[in-house]
Structure 1
Amino acid sequence: MDFALYQSNNGQAPRRRQRPIEERNRAQQAASVAAAALTFGKAARKVHEELKPGWKNEKHAAQWISTLENYVFPKIGDKPLDAITPADCAEVLRPIWLEKAETASRTRQRMHAVLQWAWAHGHITANPASVVYHLLPKQNAKKEHQPAMPWNDLPEFAKAQLRDIEAADSTLAALLFAILTAARSGEVRGVTWGEFDLDSAVWTISGSRMKAGEPHRVPLSSVALALIKRLKEAKRHETLVFPSPRGKVLSDMTLTALLRRVKAKSDTPGRVATLHRFRSSFRDWASEHGYARDLAERTLAHTVANKVDAAYHRTDLLEQRRPMMKAWATHVCGAWASD
């Protein structure tokens, strides 16, 4: 035994130094034990809770976790973190990689965020990027437009499908209200009674529910106002205006299924119109009928891209938009409202 080493240890036998390989193996073993108790689903929810306070938009927070719930959890949600392979991630992404390119990209980013968190906390030892960012077919750079119903086909569609709405049919009522207000699907599906001022015929959507994060006011035409009043008389839910049969917010897929069922005509052969693209129908109608671009853009609550223009974008032109929304409602419902 080296006497000098013995003395330096106060007479104790020298400690055996661990080799780097042994240390690495011990770290990997500890990570495996920790990961075995933590599934991808549990880790994702934990990451979501930690990130949520930093997000100003509640809609984004809800979308972040719902993306994983819809596309990832069914396949690897119950799988231990250290057991997740590149093949697993490819299996999750492949069905939507080309059909829903934007959704797929966001899903991959969020999967990577979860695995990054797991790596930082010692639950996995593999590089998160090597697990998630693997070879997949090249996505189309050109974005495919969603099918829209031509504005001049709307009156006949409304007459055939929307004229005899019963107060109990939230789905049809939500569809008609979305068309009349040119609002986004999420804004309509999540609307609550407290957002309406029926005396002033105004619907005010809080910034937390808007894509741009800013409050938005919608002038209600007499047709839209009458629809809301009729629904309020029946009042199937204390909070939600368009509740699902289970008393929750209507899903986007429910409205999509309705449009498929009624075979809503579109400008794309072989495809039905989507709810979101009724906003395009309104925009085309407004242009064709000579309404100012600013009025139509404010109705759609589009963000002003030009910073100089945005600085002067101080008013929402609510009262100036009223005649336009009245004319739009007359166009949509005129074929049967005058019967």
Structure 2
Amino acid sequence: MPHVRNKLTALAVKSINSVGKHADGNGLFLQVTANPKTRELRKSWLVRFTPLNGKVRETGVGSVDLVTLAQAREKTLEIRKNAKSGADVVVAKAEVRQEAVRQRAASMTFAQCAEAYIKAHESSWKNDKHKTQWTNTIKMYANPVLGKVAVQDINVSMIMKVLDPIWQTKTETASRLRGRLENILDWARVREYRTGENPARWRGHLEKALPARNKAKTVKHYAALPIDEYPAFMSKLREQTGVGPLAFQFAILTAARTSEAIAARWDEIDFNDKSWTVPAERMKAGRVHRVPLSTAAMAVLKAVRGLDPVYVFPGLKCGKPISNMAFLMTLRRMKRDDLTAHGFRSTFRDWAAERTDFQNEVAEAALAHVISNQAEAAYRRGDLFEKRRALMEAWAVFGMS
């Protein structure tokens, strides 16, 4: 019995609304699908054919909005005719897609991918410093070797050429750079700019070629001021002039991180409650941190009040806070290159442990450290604010002694 052809009509194509495949004959089907959320119907043409290898294939030939019934029938005849001569339209489409991927990969350099990655992710980073670190390490260490190379062509030897010169001497930077290279190359693979394994992957890969970070070089902790030298240092710091030294005092008196202090805003300060609330997006732990302000910290705020309507410590550029280099420059002017701003958090922690009777958890809360013990964290609901207020006042008084 001969196959029935041309079962459908143009009117039927418009009126059929039942989900499924509706045969026209000769391997052509009207395929009706429904959006799972909106239940909106979509109609398209599907051709079923059997190439010389005997494996039944299906391929779409367009939406009914773009391809008429007559055109779909013509495409069906062409596909079936080519199939008899050995051509496989599905394989041909796949080859076209693969070639398009190859062309995209060949046109994208590592530098272009790195720039696109940073632009795509910078909105999720907590501060501008993070973007600056990404941009600078890629520009300084990676781009001289990889910048102009097609991202598809990057291999392990190229990655090693970037990392080898700094792995022993700048281990922390090299380790972070490796992670950034891995992220960029993973992004490029997802975007189909490259295929294959990630040559910057550490686990089960580069860990076999490079010494572990803790074995490559002893970790150098932030330089901290000895407890007994702290009062004299604060006395000299108070002698410095300008917004930078005042911001530095505020950071030390509140045991805050540099990024938290320099970006402080007036709408975060409560003068009545004598507190400073740092929003979650600026905190390392990603949660709101309320800071009790000592008498000395309040004096700093009064000294800068009125300089800017938004930022507590405004920079030279309008609408911007001071630079994250301000504290470093202050230390240089004081001829204390042996110290770091972050190290004063360690000085504070040592002082609280060795010179006071405050509980360990009070000092940890003042530093906004995350409780590593999950069971303890679950039971400790409060922020020990009033106890921290007494601790920070004692810290300020010690700096005046």
TM-score (norm 1): 0.77
Show structure 2 runs of 5+ residues with no match: 1-50, 53-78
Higher Rg: 2
Match of 1:145 among 221, 239, 251: 221
CA contact (8 A) 1:41 1:78 kept: yes
Displacement of 1:310 after TM fit? 1.1
Change (3 A) 1:89 1:194: farther
CA contact (8 A) 2:105 2:151 kept: yes
Larger fraction in helix: 1
Displacement of 1:206 after TM fit? 1.2
CA contact (8 A) 1:35 1:81 kept: yes
Cα deviation, 1:67-105, whole Å, max 9, x if unaligned, reads 431201344285342354545434543455345534432
Change (3 A) 1:9 1:212: closer
Q: Supply the distance in 2 between the matched residues of 1:94 and 1:242 (Cα, whole angstroms).
A: 41
Aligned residues: percent identity? Answer: 35
Matches within 5 A, 1:51-200: 58-59=125-126, 65-74=131-140, 75-76=142-143, 78-79=147-148, 80-82=150-152, 84-94=154-164, 96-129=166-199, 134=206, 135-141=209-215, 142-160=218-236, 162-166=237-241, 169-200=242-273
Displacement of 1:275 after TM fit? 1.2
CA contact (8 A) 1:119 1:127 kept: no
Show structure 1 runs of 5+ residues with no match: 265-270, 335-339
Cα deviation, 1:313-333, whole Å, max 9, x if unaligned, reads 222122222222122112113
Displacement of 1:148 after TM fit? 0.7
CA contact (8 A) 1:67 1:107 kept: no
Q: Give the structure 1 partner of residue 36 of structure 2.
A: none
Matches within 5 A, 1:17-56: 27=98, 30-48=100-118
Q: Give the structure 2 partner of residue 256 of structure 1.
A: 328
Equivalent position SS for 1:109: helix
Change (3 A) 1:273 1:117: same
CA contact (8 A) 2:294 2:392 kept: yes
Q: Supply the distance in 2 between the matched residues of 1:165 and 1:51 (Cα, whole angstroms).
A: 39
CA contact (8 A) 2:293 2:392 kept: yes
Cα deviation, 1:34-74, whole Å, max 9, x if unaligned, reads 13443334423544566678x6xx42x86664443120134
Q: Give the structure 1 partner of residue 339 of structure 2.
A: 273
CA contact (8 A) 2:159 2:199 kept: no
Q: Give the structure 2 partner of residue 268 of structure 1.
A: none
Q: Supply the distance in 2 between the matched residues of 1:92 and 1:229 (Cα, whole angstroms).
A: 49
Letter in 2 for 1:285: W
TM-score (norm 2): 0.66
Larger fraction in strand: 2
Q: Supply the distance in 1 between the matched residues of 2:265 and 2:229 (Cα, whole angstroms).
A: 30
CA contact (8 A) 2:238 2:245 kept: no
Equivalent position SS for 2:189: helix
CA contact (8 A) 1:195 1:204 kept: yes
Change (3 A) 1:201 1:164: same
Displacement of 1:150 after TM fit? 0.7
Q: Supply the distance in 2 between the matched residues of 1:11 and 1:243 (Cα, whole angstroms).
A: 72
Change (3 A) 1:11 1:304: closer
Q: Give the structure 1 partner of residue 366 of structure 2.
A: 299
Cα deviation, 1:100-120, whole Å, max 9, x if unaligned, reads 534432332221122122223
Equivalent position SS for 1:218: strand
Change (3 A) 1:101 1:253: farther
Change (3 A) 1:64 1:325: closer
Change (3 A) 1:189 1:37: farther
CA contact (8 A) 1:203 1:217 kept: yes
Change (3 A) 1:16 1:320: closer
Displacement of 1:173 after TM fit? 1.6
Q: Supply the distance in 2 between the matched residues of 1:152 and 1:279 (Cα, whole angstroms).
A: 15
Equivalent position SS for 1:203: strand
Equivalent position SS for 1:240: coil
Q: Give the structure 2 partner of residue 283 of structure 1.
A: 349
RCO comparison, higher one (Cα < 8 Å, 6+): 1
Q: Give the structure 1 partner of residue 396 of structure 2.
A: 329
Equivalent position SS for 1:245: coil
Q: Supply the distance in 2 between the matched residues of 1:171 and 1:95 (Cα, whole angstroms).
A: 36
CA contact (8 A) 1:255 1:275 kept: yes
Q: Supply the distance in 2 between the matched residues of 1:33 and 1:300 (Cα, whole angstroms).
A: 51
Q: Give the structure 1 partner of residue 302 of structure 2.
A: 229
CA contact (8 A) 1:181 1:325 kept: yes
Q: Supply the distance in 2 between the matched residues of 1:217 and 1:101 (Cα, whole angstroms).
A: 35
Equivalent position SS for 2:224: coil
